[in-house]
Amino acid sequence: MTSVLTLGLRLAWGTREQRLRSVAVAVASALGSGSLLLVWAIARDRLLGAGAFHSEAGFVVVGAVLMVALPVVAMVATVARLQTRGREERLANLRRLGLSAARTRLVAAVEVGVASATGVLLGIPLYLGLGWLTQRIDVTGQPWNPYLFTVPTYGWVGVLLGVLVVAVLVAAWPPTDQNDRSVESDRGRTDDVRRPGLWRLGPLLLGLAVCGWSVLHTFGDYVSDAQAYVILVGVALAGFGLLLAAPVLVRLVADVGVKVARGPVTTIATRRLQARPGSVLRVVATLMAVLVVLAGARGVIAAFQDLPQYEEAERSFSQEQVAEVSASAAEAAGIVATLNETPGVERVIALPMTLVTIEDQDRDDESILAAVATCAELKDAGARVPDCVEGRLLVGDSRPDLLTAKSGTVTALTEPQGPYLEPPDELPNREGPSAGLDLSDAVTVPADDLYDWGVEGGVHLVIPPDAAEIGEVVAATDRQLVVHGPPGRGLTTTLDQAGIWSYSAYDTADYDFGQSMLFLMWALAAVLFVLGLFTVTVALVDRAAARRQENASLRALGTSPGVLRRAQFLEAVVPVLLGTVSAVLVGWFGGNAYLSFGLVDPLPVPWLLLAGSVLGSFVVAGLTVFGIGSDSGPEDVRRG
């Protein structure tokens, strides 16, 4: 037993290559555990802290962590299987020496396990450091909450053990398995060109089918929980399924390529792809995940940004804040004066609010609210009514009875009612003065113009101040004071402190949630990008080493470095291009599937991301070409 352990340890720190590999395993484990913990903490803080959609928040936290878990597994697996060729040979030699399969596996597990455990432990300070830095970032709206910026105990255990277990399993299982075969057959004479099974297409097709159904199906106002979960699972299936299916697609392209290949470059490249269609993809899996997130998560965020509260909050952060204060006719002037002296208030517009009744009005109907304002005042108060005609009544087009009415009565409201969003159910007693109102000459405008503006709720009618006989009513009726402040938040708090009770249309909870999602998305993308870059770099170095012998013998044949480089470029660019472009498309499609919950416009085709993927693929493939065919000294030439 101890001999197996020492052997594993010796192998982990044996040659220079082995040391490099062990360091790579440790770094991958540290990056993996550190970033999983970090994303977990960020997701908890952002989502639970925002408070909105509480029931879904846990679900999203898990989703975010899973999104990172997949690339972490890919990264750790890639790194733990580095230098497989040399390693397999060595392990096969151990088998030939008479070590049992189980003990050989144990040697391999110890070898990688020691490095991985060290890395996982290093992941803790990495997480703490990055977490500290993250909490220095100033996010609009919601400050960081150190009580939420944590990982639950089961999360710690799961992450630290999970990364270690993945590394050990990957190191111990498949290579030793192959060794058993290569020990029996001489010189590993196995057919390594097994076609990737078609079952790999299953999850992708199923996921795409669900997404397609969701995009085509028009949901009513109500999406059931079951439907929502089916769609979310479908989106996830499409994303994960793509990673599973990609080797099949690459193999397909390679098969066609072999058929049409004429020159040596295409023959070499397509044959190599045919032999190992998944090897490059495993490496770019992380980058694919980044693209799925970037292309798809926009859908989730777009769904939030489409909420009116979000838009209102967005406006108050970027343009101006609006709050409302109700005041009786008598108090109004005093309150306006106070408001104008309150720091943080830019201007105040006072609009008289009245109640209108028309003949035959159903008592159960909502009361008809009318503001008294000129077109200029309306505009000043934040309403955009392009059809406004000076001196004419404006009627929203939503109430048929109002549109057909010829005349009515306008009555003063004499008790400030609070937010006019919920007009009084009962028509108030008509103690205030009232006057007849001629409705025959009214201008019909879109109801939304009178509804969606700075004032919460909005009105059905706008009466020009110079309408006949309303002077007395206006003088007695309540005022709605529309208060404008500079962009930002906290106008209502300021007014509170000045002793004025006010209310505001925007809801920071929604906005903060949207912002949190946005931050989470960027954090995820950044973390995944780092993981992806590390995986790609390490794997490329390893590939270059693995290809050294083969390329050296091709060079001895007289193959020019140019041919080798072009073959390598082609071999790399096909799967990377295929992987990244399909990742963007699947992400985009999945995002749209999510958007179909609400009646939100579909996302535009992400051309920029697509163009970036194409460009990036060429850059990555170009990087793989470095060092090929350029032999630095006799030692390197004769290494094969």
Ligand X SMILES: Nc1ncnc2c1ncn2[C@@H]1O[C@H](COP(=O)(O)OP(=O)(O)OP(=O)(O)O)[C@@H](O)[C@H]1O
CB of 636 to ligand X, least distance (A): 8
Number of H helices, E strands in the chain: 23, 9
Element (H, E) at 479: strand 479-485
Partner whose footprint covers residue 639, from other proteins, ligand X, none (CB < 5 to 8 Å by kind): ligand X
Cβ closer to other proteins: 140 or 190? 190
Single residue of 19, 96, 189, 195 touching other proteins by CB under 8 A:
189
- Distance separating alpha carbons of residues 529 and 286, to the nearest angstrom: 7
CB 272 within 8 A of CB 307: no
Residue 344: DSSP 8-state: T
**Among other proteins, ligand X, none, what binds residue 563 when CB lies within 5 to 8 Å by partner kind?**
other proteins
Nearer to other proteins, 85 or 392 (CB): 85
Tokens matching residue 451? 């509804």
Q: Which one among 186, 341, 390, 426 touches other proteins, defined by CB under 8 A?
A: 186
Mark residues 274-293: x for contact with other proteins by CB under 8 A, - for none. xxx-----------------
Q: 251 is in the binding site of which of ligand X, other proteins, none (Cβ under 5 to 8 A by kind)?
A: none
Span near other proteins by CB under 8 A; candidates 61-69, 87-95, 111-119, 550-558 = 550-558
The count of residues interacting with ligand X (CB under 6 A) is 3
Question: What's the min distance (Å) between Cβ of 175 and other proteins?
Answer: 17
Q: Which DSSP helix (H) or strand (E) runs through 42?
A: helix 16-43
Residue type, 554: L
Q: How many CB atoms lie within 10 A of CB 53?
A: 15
84 near other proteins (CB under 8 A): no
Residue 267's binding partner out of ligand X, other proteins, none, with CB under 5 to 8 Å set by partner kind:
other proteins
**Gap between the Cα atoms of 100 and 106, Å rounded:** 10
* Cβ 564 to ligand X shortest distance, Å: 20
Q: Which does 407 bind (CB under 5 to 8 A by kind): ligand X, other proteins, none?
A: none
Closer of 138 and 186 to other proteins (Cβ): 186
Instruction: Please identify, using beta-carbon distances, which residue of 311 and 631 lies nearer to ligand X.
Output: 631
Q: Residue 637 CB, nearest distance to ligand X (Å)?
A: 8
CB of 562 to other proteins, least distance (A): 8
By beta-carbon proximity to other proteins, the closer residue of 151 and 250 is 250
Per-residue mark of binding to other proteins, 205-244 (x: CB under 8 A): ----------------------------------------
Dist. CA 455–CA 419, nearest whole Å: 9
Burial readout 255-266 (b: 16 or more C-beta within 10 A, e: otherwise): eebeeebeeebb
Q: Which CB atom, from 186 or from 635, has the smaller least distance to ligand X?
A: 635
Cβ neighbours of 330 (radius 10 Å): 11
Rule CB under 8 A: say whether 194 interacts with other proteins. Answer: no
Nearest position to ligand X, beta carbon: 638
Judged by CB under 8 A, which of 42, 294, 554, 583 binds other proteins? 554
Output 15 or 319, the one with its CB closest to ligand X. Answer: 15
Q: Measuring CA to CA, how many Å separate 261 from each of 266, 269, 340, 577, 618?
A: 5, 9, 79, 19, 21
- Residue 108 beta carbon to other proteins: minimum distance, rounded to whole angstroms: 23
Pick from 114, 165, 117, 163: which is nearest to 5 by CA? Answer: 114
Residues 6+ apart with CB under 8 A from 560: 629
For other proteins, the closer of residues 121 and 275 by Cβ is: 275
Distance CA 72, CA 36 (A): 8
Distance CA 143, CA 120 (A): 30
What part of residues 620-639 is at the interface with ligand X (CB under 6 A)?
635, 638-639
Smallest separation (angstroms) from ligand X to the CB of 123: 38
- Residue 263 contacts which entry, ligand X, other proteins, none (Cβ below 5-8 A, type-dependent): other proteins
Q: How far is CA 486 from CA 286, 359, 481, 483, 600, in A?
A: 43, 44, 16, 10, 30
Q: Which two tokens stand for residue 253?
A: 């392209």
Which CB, 430 or 639, lies closer to ligand X?
639
Instruction: Identify the DSSP state of 503.
Output: B
Does 186 interact with ligand X (rule: CB under 6 A)? Answer: no
Q: Is 410 helix (H, G, I), strand (E, B) or coil?
A: strand
- DSSP collapsed to 3 states, 274-310: HHCCCHHHHHHHHHHHHHHHHHHHHHHHHHHHCCHHH
Distance in Å, CB of 116 to other proteins, minimum: 31
**Residue 382 φ/ψ region, left for φ over 0, alpha for ψ in the -120 to 50 degree band, beta for the rest:** left
271 interacts with other proteins by CB under 8 A? yes
Nearest CB to other proteins, comparing residues 38 and 567: 567
In this structure, what DSSP letter does residue 624 have? Answer: H
Assess 272 for contact with other proteins (CB under 8 A). Answer: yes
Tokens in use for 224?
A: 């059931």
Nearer to ligand X, 499 or 634 (CB): 634
The answer to whether 93 contacts other proteins (rule: CB under 8 A) is: no
* The only residue of 406, 560, 599, 615 in contact with other proteins, by rule CB under 8 A: 560
Pick the closer one to ligand X by CB: 366 or 550. Answer: 550
Q: How far is the CB of 558 from ligand X (least distance, A)?
A: 21
Residue 134 corresponds to which tokens in the numbers above?
């993250």
Structure token digits, residue 269? 């490249």
Among ligand X, other proteins, none, what does residue 100 contact (CB within 5–8 Å per kind)? none
CA distance linking residue 595 with residue 609, whole number of Å: 19
Place of tokens 């484990």: 29
Cα separations in angstroms, 536 against 247, 248, 287, 583, 623: 17, 21, 9, 17, 10
Cα separation, 36 vs 524, whole angstroms: 10
Instruction: Find the shortest distance in angstroms from Cβ 562 to ligand X.
Output: 25
Question: Nearest-CA neighbor of 571 among 347, 354, 302, 267?
Answer: 267
Here the tokens at position 426 are 């009962």
* Residue 264 in the binding site for other proteins (CB under 8 A): yes
635 binding other proteins? (CB under 8 A): yes
> Does residue number 640 form part of the binding site for other proteins (CB under 8 A)?
yes
Does 16 interact with ligand X (rule: CB under 6 A)? no
For residues 223 and 599, what is the distance between their CA atoms, to the nearest angstrom? 11
Binding status of residue 217 toward ligand X by CB under 6 A: no
Instruction: Compute the Cα dihedral for 134, 140, 145, 151 and give only its sign.
Output: negative
CA distance 443 to 513: 40
The binder of other proteins chosen from 550, 599, 611, 615 (CB under 8 A): 550
Residue ranges binding other proteins (CB under 8 A)? 186-193, 262-264, 267-268, 271-272, 274-276, 549-550, 553-563, 633-635, 637-638, 640
Residue ranges binding ligand X (CB under 6 A)? 635, 638-639
